[in-house]
Amino acid sequence: MPRHTAPRSIPTTSSSPTSRNRPRNHRSPFRLAAATAATAALALLLAACTTGPATNGSNGSNGSTATPVAGGTLVYATGDAEPTCLDPHVGGNYPQALVATQYLEELVSRDKSGTIIPWLATAWKESADGLSWDFTLKPGVTFTDGTPFDAAAVAANVAHLQNPATGSSTGYLALGKVTGVEVVDARTARFTLSAPDTTLLDSLSQPWLAMESPTALARSQADNCKSPVGTGPFIVKQWNKQQSITLVRNDNYNSPPADAAHTGPAYLDSIEWRFLPDSASRYAALQAGTVDVIDNVQPDTIIQAQKNPALTYLNAPRPGASNRIELNSSKAPFDDANVREAFIRSADVDDAVSSLFFGTAQRSYSPLSSAEPLAYSEPSDFTYDQAAAAKLLDAAGWTDRTPDGYREKNGQVLELTFPVSTNQSIPAEQSVFEQIQATAKQAGFKIDLQPMDLSSWYAALAADQYNLVDAPYTKVGPDVLRILYDSAGTVPAPSGYFANLSQLKNPSLDALLETAAATSDETQRASLYQQAQKLILDGFYILPLYDQQNGYLEQSVVHGLRAMPTVSTPTMYDAWVQR
């Protein structure tokens, strides 16, 4: 049936049963006129449509058995912030990764089990000393601007990432140990490292280290931000700021990752990548059939959606760090471990999570995401205990009380600044913060929640104007710990962002992480990471909340949508729509 968003409609499918699930033909005036009158009839239809395609809530990709239909446009509505630059090398945050997954590709990828699998690189080999890696590149791959994909291109990309002018943050940190790339031959690129890095492959599997056309990279950053050029299944056609990005199929695409469901070009003609920051509008749009897939789904809507046969939930928690509140230990009052513990004890997270997430999220007691095999939990550190909190604060000398019950220490109110990025946390999460604010108040903490947009938020962090912060950090593998808690992480990356927001400076921890990263023996590595995590948890530097919630609601007409096992970004390569 005709889609308001489709550049062209597909008449053949206009009579498909699912198309009657929801009224979607917003074009026909008749539809509009008759609409109100036909409400009752509609209700019947909806009731009749309970026999939609069977849905399996967990891993999405419904009806993958059916034969894919080529063509059509898929409308994806993201609640993440609109990137200021479509090139994930620049800065490097999740919103960029989300969209970049559609048009950029990495050297390697991961499968569901977490093992590294080939992508643009067909094979790789670590040297004995672990200081150099040779990557064999897939042949016959060209960027969508015609530039061939070869070792030189790889070198160019690494150079681009490491060039301070690029202002890369995530990618830059991931390549911390890479000193450069030698072009051995057209199809072989050699990474040279300053020290052995067992996490290199994990790092290289991330969208922020995707391969872009050197020719494109040579352009001004402004241009490259508008239309980065990769080898992906789709091409950035147009970017209407604050509205949408139009992606069209790359017809001579030939480089799917090893775990893709099919080969050759993608099924979809195009993707409309809309920015709908308002979660309610987003869900309403999905219900009304205005869009096909949404991310950043509200817990309550997940529950609702599960009752709605027309919708399918694809749950894909992000790897790397758990979602946690960092306590800025670099300045008062959190330079005092007692105060940190007092805060953590006084925060009633469990109730908040259970009430706000309707059981869609599991409480976490670990710095790492449950998606990480090596995650270590220490629940005992996080039991909710106001009495203990009070005792600790008394011990710390915060004995006085302001009229409205906040604690004071020689005239200083026990006040905590908590900048909250409205773009990076769903409202439910902000409510969690509010509840923590409320419970911590009982202990005498005065928490200033400061909702702000992404850039102000970054600015606040860069200016060290925070005591508490919740900063999602997505990286493949436990090495994320090194980025988040290594003393080095307190030094800003070129973009100005520094990942170690708890500003934890502990040489022994640094050493642990260092050796862990260099150790290839699994068991030893595991124990090292475990010690490291224990150290972080016991130091009360962070308050883990839950895994980084990440999931996608899709119309049941969408098939074959899957989340990349790397950083759980959705890929539309295998996706097709049946209308």
Q: Is 2 in the site for another protein (CB under 8 A)?
A: no
CB of 463 to another protein, least distance (A): 9
Q: Is 195 in the site for another protein (CB under 8 A)?
A: no
* CA dihedral over 212, 215, 218, 223, signed as positive or negative: negative
Residue number with CB closer to another protein (62 or 287): 287
Binding mask 346-385 for another protein (x = CB under 8 A): --x--xx-xxx-----------------------------
Residue number with CB closer to another protein (32 or 387): 32
268 backbone φψ class: left, alpha, beta (φ>0; ψ -120 to 50): beta
Q: Is 578 in the site for another protein (CB under 8 A)?
A: no
Contact 314, 307 (CB under 8 A): no
Which residues inside 34-63 make contact with another protein, applying CB under 8 A? 35-36, 39, 42
CB of 338 to another protein, least distance (A): 25
- Which of 431, 519, 530, 531 is close enough to bind another protein by CB under 8 A? 431
Which residues inside 4-33 make contact with another protein, applying CB under 8 A? 4-5, 22-23, 26-27, 29, 31-32
Q: Is 84 in the site for another protein (CB under 8 A)?
A: yes
Which residues inside 443-482 make contact with another protein, applying CB under 8 A? 449-451, 453-459, 461-462
Which residues inside 555-574 make contact with another protein, applying CB under 8 A? none
CB of 456 to another protein, least distance (A): 7
Give Cα 120 distance to the centre of its chain.
22
CB of 419 to another protein, least distance (A): 11
- Which of 55, 93, 296, 533 is close enough to bind another protein by CB under 8 A? 93
Q: Which is nearest to 359 in space by CA: 428, 423, 280?
A: 428
Q: Is 395 in the site for another protein (CB under 8 A)?
A: no
DSSP designation for 82? P
Give Cα 138 distance to the centre of its chain.
27
Contact 413, 444 (CB under 8 A): no
Give Cα 70 distance to the centre of its chain.
29
Residue number with CB closer to another protein (8 or 27): 27
Tokens of 561: 């949508």
> How many C-beta neighbours within 10 Å does residue 384 have?
15
Residue number with CB closer to another protein (211 or 577): 577
Q: Which stretch binds another protein (CB under 8 A): 312-320, 436-444, 544-552, 570-578?
A: 436-444
Burial class (CB in 10 A: 0-12, 13-18, 19+), 378: middle
Please, which residues have CB within 8 angstroms of residue 46's CB and are 6 or more apart in sequence?
Answer: 21, 22
Which residues inside 238-257 make contact with another protein, applying CB under 8 A? 240-243
- Which of 130, 148, 196, 496 is close enough to bind another protein by CB under 8 A? 496
Residue number with CB closer to another protein (299 or 539): 299
Q: Is 301 in the site for another protein (CB under 8 A)?
A: yes
Residue number with CB closer to another protein (33 or 258): 33
Q: Which stretch binds another protein (CB under 8 A): 272-280, 315-323, 335-343, 370-378?
A: 272-280
CB of 492 to another protein, least distance (A): 6
Q: Is 579 in the site for another protein (CB under 8 A)?
A: no
CA distances 105 to 100, 204, 262, 567, Å, are: 8, 10, 16, 13
Q: Is 218 in the site for another protein (CB under 8 A)?
A: no
Tokens of 29: 């005036």
Q: Is 163 in the site for another protein (CB under 8 A)?
A: no
Contact 575, 556 (CB under 8 A): no
DSSP β-ladder status, 293-294 and 73-78:
parallel
What is the C-alpha separation between 349 and 317, in angstroms, rounded? Answer: 19
**Residue that is written with structure tokens 């899709």 in the block:** 554
Residue number with CB closer to another protein (286 or 516): 286
- Which of 52, 63, 88, 91 is close enough to bind another protein by CB under 8 A? 91
Q: Is 227 in the site for another protein (CB under 8 A)?
A: no
Q: Is 265 in the site for another protein (CB under 8 A)?
A: no
Residue number with CB closer to another protein (42 or 117): 42
- CA end-to-end span of the chain: 7
Q: Which stretch binds another protein (CB under 8 A): 118-126, 205-213, 407-415, 437-445?
A: 437-445
Residue number with CB closer to another protein (210 or 291): 291
Residues in the chain: 579
Residue number with CB closer to another protein (35 or 511): 35
Contact 280, 428 (CB under 8 A): no
What is the C-alpha separation between 203 and 477, in angstroms, rounded? Answer: 8
- DSSP-derived secondary structure for 497-510: --S-TT----HHHH
- Which of 163, 192, 254, 304 is close enough to bind another protein by CB under 8 A? 304
Tokens of 174: 């991931």
What is the C-alpha separation between 556 and 577, in angstroms, rounded? Answer: 9
CB of 509 to another protein, least distance (A): 25
Residue number with CB closer to another protein (129 or 404): 404
Residue number with CB closer to another protein (234 or 466): 466
What is the C-alpha separation between 222 and 17, in angstroms, rounded? Answer: 46
- Which of 170, 198, 227, 298 is close enough to bind another protein by CB under 8 A? 298
Contact 418, 468 (CB under 8 A): yes
Q: Which stretch binds another protein (CB under 8 A): 172-180, 205-213, 491-499, 504-512?
A: 491-499
Q: Is 79 in the site for another protein (CB under 8 A)?
A: no
Residue number with CB closer to another protein (371 or 454): 454
* CA dihedral over 92, 93, 94, 99, signed as positive or negative: negative
Which residues inside 59-78 make contact with another protein, applying CB under 8 A? 77
Contact 255, 169 (CB under 8 A): no
3-state helix/strand/coil string of 254-321: CCCCCCCCCCCCCCCCEEEEEECCCHHHHHHHHHHCCCCEECCCCHHHHHHHHHCCCEEEEECCCCCE
User: In angstroms, what is the C-alpha Rg of the chain?
Assistant: 25
CB of 435 to another protein, least distance (A): 5
